[in-house]
Amino acid sequence: MGMNIKDMELLLALVEDPTISISELAEKLKLSRPTVKVRLDNLKERGMIRKTIALYKPETLGLERKHVLVEVSSKESMKLVEESCDIHPYTVYRARTFGGKFGLYMQFEIPPNTLGLLKEYFQILKQKKYINAFRIYESSGLRQISYPDLERFNSETLSWNFSWDKWFNKLKKYPTSHETTTEDKSTYKNYKPIQFKILRELTSNASNATKKQSELKEKFNLSKTDAHRHYNYVMDNYVDKVRLLIDRKSFNLTETYIAVASSVTKEKKNQLYNLMKDNPPPFHVSMDILKGTNLFMWGNISASQASEFAFSIWNTLQNVEVYVLSTKDKGSRNYWFYDENYDFDNKCWKTSSGYMIKEPLSKLGLEI
């Protein structure tokens, strides 16, 4: 991989705080500012550093996450469903799946009481023979997310110091209950258009804090004071995490899996939640406690870890389906926060059947 110790230290500092400035990096690494900039530019040119994005927690905006799995019978059908995701206003992620059957995995973040509209949307796609079958899983709003811990990566052997078997075996040591917190949505009633526009910008590119505020000032014609104030409000109230996107191939993180478990007891869910919280794996892994007896895990891991992950989670949860995601080329897509979904005049999210069903299907060329 050709990365010396100073480059690795620089990368570790950026992963820890993606919004850190060059001056702060120079002070932390005891290097000159020009040296840090040269090294940083070199990492970007080599593609090892992609960009920085902000991740928001949908519950702070009064939205609910839904996981959707669909089965398709042809590549043409798959492309049509992908196009439907590109068009639908509440899509946040999609990826092709394979392993037994071919299909798509999708995430939607929708307003409360609109699950019926999402079901109707996919039912129409099924009636029109776009999809063979679909399943929708509802998030409870409780989730734990881990991110790559590059200190556990050996750049010489391109291997990770981690065992999924050992990790899952620790489960029985963790408590079967945990404290839960719910978002106080009353705090977030007075949404402002400029703050939603800033959130959209941050979900596409967060960069470092000083640079981003300067960009926002110019783009939205704000004063320096207003840019600073709105930026900080969005970061404090809506943004859950700022993440540095790295070249996964350089760190042997080439495989992405999802696992959907059923008949999971509340006690087992709580143990997994506590394990993820206190002893997170050194990879980008998301665990979502679903409503009912279901549980969802998404993981971007190394090829050598893939089979161990699949068999370990199967051994732990038994009733589990594991899918491989195609995240290369155009196999997957993330969508930025879409501020047009909110009606500022009526102070509510857009929830009509016309907006969530008829308009997207019409753009797809389907009449209902």
Residue 186, pLDDT > 50, answer no
Radius of gyration of the chain (CA): 21
- Worst-scoring range by mean pLDDT, 133-137, 183-187, 210-214, 216-220? 183-187
- pLDDT tens for residues 141-164? 999 999 999 889 888 888 899 999
Span 181-192, mean pLDDT? 61
Helix, strand, coil proportions of the chain in percent (round to 5)? Answer: 45, 25, 30
Q: 171: part of which helix (H) or strand (E)?
A: none
Highest mean pLDDT among 118-122, 178-182, 325-329: 118-122
- pLDDT tens for residues 123-139? 999 999 999 999 999 99
Which tokens sit at 72? 């398709």
- What residues pair up with 103 in beta bridges, in sequence order? 71, 97
Q: Counting Cβ atoms within 10 Å, is residue 184 exposed (0-12), middle (13-18) or buried (19+)?
A: exposed
Q: Counting Cβ atoms within 10 Å, is residue 97 exposed (0-12), middle (13-18) or buried (19+)?
A: buried
CA 75, CA 81: separation in Å to the nearest integer?
Answer: 10
- pLDDT tens for residues 246-259? 888 888 899 999 99
- What residues pair up with 69 in beta bridges, in sequence order? 105, 135
CA angle 300, 322, 111 (to 5 degrees): 75
Q: By the 8 A CB rule, do 325 and 332 touch?
A: yes
The string of DSSP letters for 287-311 reads EEEESTT-EEEEEEE-HHHHHHHHH
- What residues pair up with 220 in beta bridges, in sequence order? none
Q: By the 8 A CB rule, do 20 and 50 touch?
A: no
CATH of 1-46, one of 3.40.50.620, 1.10.10.10, 3.40.50.300, 2.60.40.420: 1.10.10.10
Q: By the 8 A CB rule, do 131 and 81 touch?
A: yes
Phi, psi for residue 231 in degrees, rounded to 5: -60, -50
- pLDDT tens for residues 49-104? 888 889 999 999 999 999 999 999 999 999 999 999 999 999 999 999 998 789 99
Query: Which pTM was predicted?
Result: 0.91
Residue 329, pLDDT > 90, answer no
Residue 222, pLDDT > 80, answer yes
pLDDT of residue 2: 57
- Which segments of the chain does DSSP mark as H helices, in order? 5-16, 22-29, 33-45, 75-87, 115-127, 164-169, 193-204, 209-219, 224-237, 266-278, 303-317, 353, 359-363
- pLDDT tens for residues 20-59? 888 999 998 899 999 999 998 988 888 888 888 899 999 9
- What residues pair up with 323 in beta bridges, in sequence order? 258
The string of DSSP letters for 48-64 reads SEEEEEEEE-GGGGT-E
Contacts of 193 (CB under 8 A, 6+ apart): 339, 344
pLDDT of residue 208: 67
